[in-house]
Chain A
């Protein structure tokens, strides 16, 4: 039997140094444990066999939700979906991000699953990631060389891989302050109604004024090796009244951005088609939430 070292540091500094040390050691890989809803499943399936597990849930900063004076939100990487759901304000400001985070797993899984884990698991189909991309979230990471920030879409590098460097730990997501007339939404296509994984996921974040879109961001999941920021779709929406021509142009941009695979969960043709369908439906909900002003 392989032995596993379990560490639960109370500070980020301790976590980073333990993580860097364990990754450097010859005794196998080290893994960060947030909710564990991916890690523990992968360990049981024999997919990963970490020598060291570093539980970050005892670190205050990675489990906190803070609404800053400027209206931005800082969400700790290990905040659970259920905790985020129960926050009195977050869901009112970012309903799309919240519904995406709340789609990670079942009710039971929500008690543990976190947006940080969802991002760092680096599945192309992670539900929260396209919504975070649409929201323009910026992540803070801390490593042996200190802190840095980067846009959320820069974290995934490919299926199961991130751009984080050895010893780096995801600390938090910062979601920007909301101008008036903003709304976001997330939709995913799953064949079942529950207990399933996104075949395509789409996040849309809009700001509207005078019936026109003044700002837009679009994130797509499960259609490429990494979740995508679709800037061409956003461009097609900005300045429009979300008329059919603009929506179709944005949908076409989404389809063009797709680089999916044929697999057991969907075909290339199906995923590409659905990316466009979901863009239109998600944009309609986001616009409704923005008040279509």
Chain B
């Protein structure tokens, strides 16, 4: 496990054709909604019409009497997890998951599932939902953080207490270093600002969907779209009481997840409907349901205060981050609390997060959960600080970079810090060096901004199996849904290590019955972890090949080497034999001892954090308030790019999502607490023509604790864009924006205020 492969590889680093590419571009790829079965019926969810209400009674008798209706389920069919005892599955608390999947005591947001129906047609199921009679006692609701933390706010959960009193603050998280008061006392310059961000949705194209077949012998099969079939199995098991060994979860191709598909909504409901009806049940969310009832990430209300010496040495940093959890606890406090100051060597840090519930859909993970909104606040304050100190903003970051061996406020000691390299990559880039014409035409202003970002990255559980086929080819099975090209990367690694042509390697994703436990695709962990277990599996396979060759040659296996896809005698002393290629040995597998293949299961360790530094040029149409991104360059240390196209794709994708977050995406609620823009027209994600080609500057500083040097890639690139764009808009307009998105009405309002003030 100490072989960092040299850079002159044949396959590692090659832009090979992705294994899933042809199926995806020709429409053959099977997504969750493509599954159909004989006898299959359709499930539909009845959702709360109120933002906050006590459910006094549910009468399903009329729905059950409707011809074609085969089953109805309500919260009483879901396993109850009492609120006084936490049951964790990964980072999810089942007390909240069971109440999110189906409202229990109260409806907590507009769109909260109340009941579900399975019927012979979708239309019948929808009609039956309307026949369910629910008696509600409507309660006052609360949507925004500032309102939810007021002393007289409507309380969502009596059992949640903060400072001894019922509260919508569900929890806190603290990270600290040194003595914050001492730190600010040492500072010559202190800047403190308050920032707001809106909840934004992950915006995957494929809505949640599943088909579940529960057989009379008590065994269930689930076909669904998720970021982890083992998560689907475990969570469904906990919520339905069916043992994990009786559930087979089969991952479909996934049409985007970005973190949101690390929890489930439909699978346990469909399983219970299938169990009651005796028929396979299919459920597919509409876009409206996706937007209304699946997790966006938190909106936030943050204050960041940073103090520095005149020479630019940062001595103290304090952050207070209030995050929307949605209707049940669990916002990603770890993102802003831990990541905001992590790239910097700051002796005195106090970072506090508050988890705030309100009558919104429960948040779900979204790419570097919570980190972008923390970096937005921190990196904007750093920009102001640099301006006040008269120091170039990148130089300020460079001077204060964390160093290898340093302890971060969140607790870890860094093995390898490559932040300075990302800053230097931007400083030396033609984009940063080239002049920007700030007033190109009347009414048009341009500006440039920079920002940096940090993400933890992760290792964790992964399993792989590498088998040789009888015809001498290779099949690799992993346990991770492929969200960003991981199969292509694994194919490159396998071909490289085995010395075979890339097209002789197939990489498939196993279901829960065919491969060992593998944790979620998330945390920027999959390529890191699965390359590690695949490497070890391949090493075992190579060991077997050497043994087989040794057996044929009747020499000691120690005297056999494997290179360029064949076994050879290690030297003249080992004997004179022509090489035995992988293909030859596969053909002789049975006569030399049986099938050749090996699997490895590990809790992988050694993930190093990701650092990113970005520069962006924007153009503002001042009278219309439209901000357009003209040019964007993103530098990131990725360790080793196993497949550069998908490394670049991850960086570009993260940036685009950050652009949407900064400029146009937001959840809008009406006075009744109903989401007002639950569609892709009014929830404005950037379209292709809204963004320039984003240049990814891929730095490869190998991770010494990974066989190929891999570091996680996917999340760090969404961390800097919010602040980078805000800083660029400031450069263009001379006006700082302390809330996102910087949408046209907000930009014109601020500019009109500026005009009035002048």
By a beta-carbon cutoff of 8 Å, the part of chain A in contact with chain B is: 1, 189, 191-197, 199, 263-267, 269-270, 273-274, 277
Question: A273 contacts B689, CB within 8 Å?
Answer: no
Q: Say yes or no: is B749 at the interface (Cβ < 8 Å to chain A).
A: yes
Using Cβ atoms and an 8 Å threshold, which residues of chain B touch A193?
Answer: 628, 687, 689-690
Using Cβ atoms and an 8 Å threshold, which residues of chain A touch B687?
Answer: 192-195
Q: Which 6 A-B residue pairs are closest in the complex by CB-CB distance?
A: A270-B745, A193-B689, A277-B623, A264-B677, A267-B745, A264-B668
Complex Cα–Cα for A4 and B745 (A): 43
Of the candidate stretches B104-112, B208-216, B295-303, B678-686, the one touching chain A is: B678-686
Question: A266 contacts B745, CB within 8 Å?
Answer: yes
**Contact A192 to B690, CB < 8 A, known contacts A264-B668, A264-B682, A277-B624:** yes
From B623, B668, B681, B749, A196 is in contact (CB under 8 Å) with: B681
Nearest CB in chain A to that of B682: its residue: A264
15 contacts between A and B (CB under 8 A): A191-B626, A192-B686, A192-B689, A193-B687, A194-B688, A194-B690, A196-B681, A196-B684, A199-B744, A264-B668, A264-B682, A267-B745, A270-B744, A274-B748, A277-B624
Q: Say yes or no: is B664 at the interface (Cβ < 8 Å to chain A).
A: yes
Using Cβ atoms and an 8 Å threshold, which residues of chain B touch A1?
Answer: 121, 123
Task: Give min CB distance, B66 to chain A, whole Å.
Answer: 13
Q: Say yes or no: is B246 at the interface (Cβ < 8 Å to chain A).
A: no
**Contact A189 to B624, CB < 8 A, known contacts A195-B687, A270-B745:** yes
Using Cβ atoms and an 8 Å threshold, which residues of chain A touch B688?
Answer: 194
Q: Say yes or no: is B625 at the interface (Cβ < 8 Å to chain A).
A: yes
**Contact A194 to B682, CB < 8 A, known contacts A266-B745, A270-B625, A273-B748:** no
Q: Say yes or no: is B743 at the interface (Cβ < 8 Å to chain A).
A: yes
Using Cβ atoms and an 8 Å threshold, which residues of chain A touch B684?
Answer: 191-192, 196
Tally inter-chain residue pairs, CB-CB below 8 A. Answer: 55
Nearest CB in chain A to that of B286: its residue: A45
Question: B668 contacts A189, CB within 8 Å?
Answer: no
**Contact A274 to B681, CB < 8 A, known contacts A267-B745, A269-B749:** no
Residues 696 to 745 of chain B near chain A (Cβ within 8 Å): 743-745
Q: Say yes or no: is B676 at the interface (Cβ < 8 Å to chain A).
A: yes
Complex Cα–Cα for A274 and B628 (A): 17
Task: Give min CB distance, B678 to chain A, whole Å.
Answer: 10
Nearest CB in chain A to that of B744: its residue: A191
Nearest CB in chain A to that of B660: its residue: A192
Complex Cα–Cα for A274 and B664 (A): 18
Q: Tell which of B123, B623, B668, B749 has the most Cβ of chain A within 10 Å.
A: B623
Using Cβ atoms and an 8 Å threshold, which residues of chain B touch A270?
Answer: 625, 744-745, 748-749
Complex Cα–Cα for A266 and B625 (A): 12
Nearest CB in chain A to that of B675: its residue: A264
Complex Cα–Cα for A193 and B687 (A): 8
Using Cβ atoms and an 8 Å threshold, which residues of chain B touch A194?
Answer: 687-690
Nearest CB in chain B to that of A193: its residue: B689
From B676, B690, B752, A264 is in contact (CB under 8 Å) with: B676
Complex Cα–Cα for A265 and B624 (A): 14
Task: Give min CB distance, A174 to chain B, whole Å.
Answer: 32
Residues 636 to 669 of chain B near chain A (Cβ within 8 Å): 664, 668
Task: Give min CB distance, A123 to chain B, whole Å.
Answer: 12
Q: Tell which of B677, B690, B745, B748 has the most Cβ of chain A within 10 Å.
A: B745
Nearest CB in chain A to that of B669: its residue: A264
Question: B664 contacts A191, CB within 8 Å?
Answer: yes
Complex Cα–Cα for A264 and B304 (A): 30
Using Cβ atoms and an 8 Å threshold, which residues of chain B touch A274?
Answer: 623-624, 748
Using Cβ atoms and an 8 Å threshold, which residues of chain A touch B668?
Answer: 264
Question: A265 contacts B682, CB within 8 Å?
Answer: yes
Using Cβ atoms and an 8 Å threshold, which residues of chain B touch A267?
Answer: 745
Complex Cα–Cα for A199 and B744 (A): 10
Nearest CB in chain A to that of B670: its residue: A264
Complex Cα–Cα for A2 and B628 (A): 47
Complex Cα–Cα for A185 and B475 (A): 61
Complex Cα–Cα for A199 and B625 (A): 13
Residues 117 to 132 of chain B near chain A (Cβ within 8 Å): 121, 123
Using Cβ atoms and an 8 Å threshold, which residues of chain B touch A192?
Answer: 664, 684, 686-687, 689-690
Complex Cα–Cα for A40 and B752 (A): 42
Complex Cα–Cα for A267 and B748 (A): 11
Residues 606 to 636 of chain B near chain A (Cβ within 8 Å): 623-626, 628
Nearest CB in chain A to that of B288: its residue: A45
Task: Give min CB distance, A187 to chain B, whole Å.
Answer: 10
Task: Give min CB distance, A140 to chain B, whole Å.
Answer: 32
Using Cβ atoms and an 8 Å threshold, which residues of chain B touch A195?
Answer: 681, 687
Complex Cα–Cα for A290 and B274 (A): 68
Using Cβ atoms and an 8 Å threshold, which residues of chain B touch A273?
Answer: 623, 748, 752
Using Cβ atoms and an 8 Å threshold, which residues of chain B touch A265?
Answer: 682
Complex Cα–Cα for A267 and B690 (A): 22
Using Cβ atoms and an 8 Å threshold, which residues of chain A touch B677?
Answer: 264
Nearest CB in chain B to that of A274: its residue: B624
Question: B743 contacts A191, CB within 8 Å?
Answer: yes
Q: A191-B743, A264-B668, A273-B752 are in contact. List 11 more A-B contacts (CB 8 A).
A: A189-B624, A192-B686, A192-B687, A193-B689, A193-B690, A195-B681, A196-B681, A196-B684, A265-B682, A266-B744, A273-B748
Using Cβ atoms and an 8 Å threshold, which residues of chain A touch B749?
Answer: 269-270
Complex Cα–Cα for A265 and B743 (A): 11
Using Cβ atoms and an 8 Å threshold, which residues of chain B touch A277?
Answer: 623-624
Complex Cα–Cα for A269 and B750 (A): 12
Q: Tell which of A191, A194, A197, A267 has the most Cβ of chain B within 10 Å.
A: A191
Task: Give min CB distance, A181 to chain B, whole Å.
Answer: 26
Using Cβ atoms and an 8 Å threshold, which residues of chain A touch B681?
Answer: 195-197
Task: Give min CB distance, B133 to chain A, whole Å.
Answer: 21
Task: Give min CB distance, B179 to chain A, whole Å.
Answer: 46
Question: A269 contacts B745, CB within 8 Å?
Answer: yes
Q: Tell which of B624, B628, B682 has the most Cβ of chain A within 10 Å.
A: B624
Using Cβ atoms and an 8 Å threshold, which residues of chain B touch A197?
Answer: 681
Interface residues as binary, B373-397 with A (CB distance below 8 Å gives 1, 0 otherwise): 0000000000000000000000000
Nearest CB in chain B to that of A271: its residue: B745
Complex Cα–Cα for A266 and B626 (A): 13
Residues 446 to 464 of chain B near chain A (Cβ within 8 Å): none
Question: B744 contacts A189, CB within 8 Å?
Answer: yes
Q: Tell which of A192, A196, A266 has the most Cβ of chain B within 10 Å.
A: A192
Complex Cα–Cα for A41 and B623 (A): 34
Using Cβ atoms and an 8 Å threshold, which residues of chain A touch B676?
Answer: 263-264
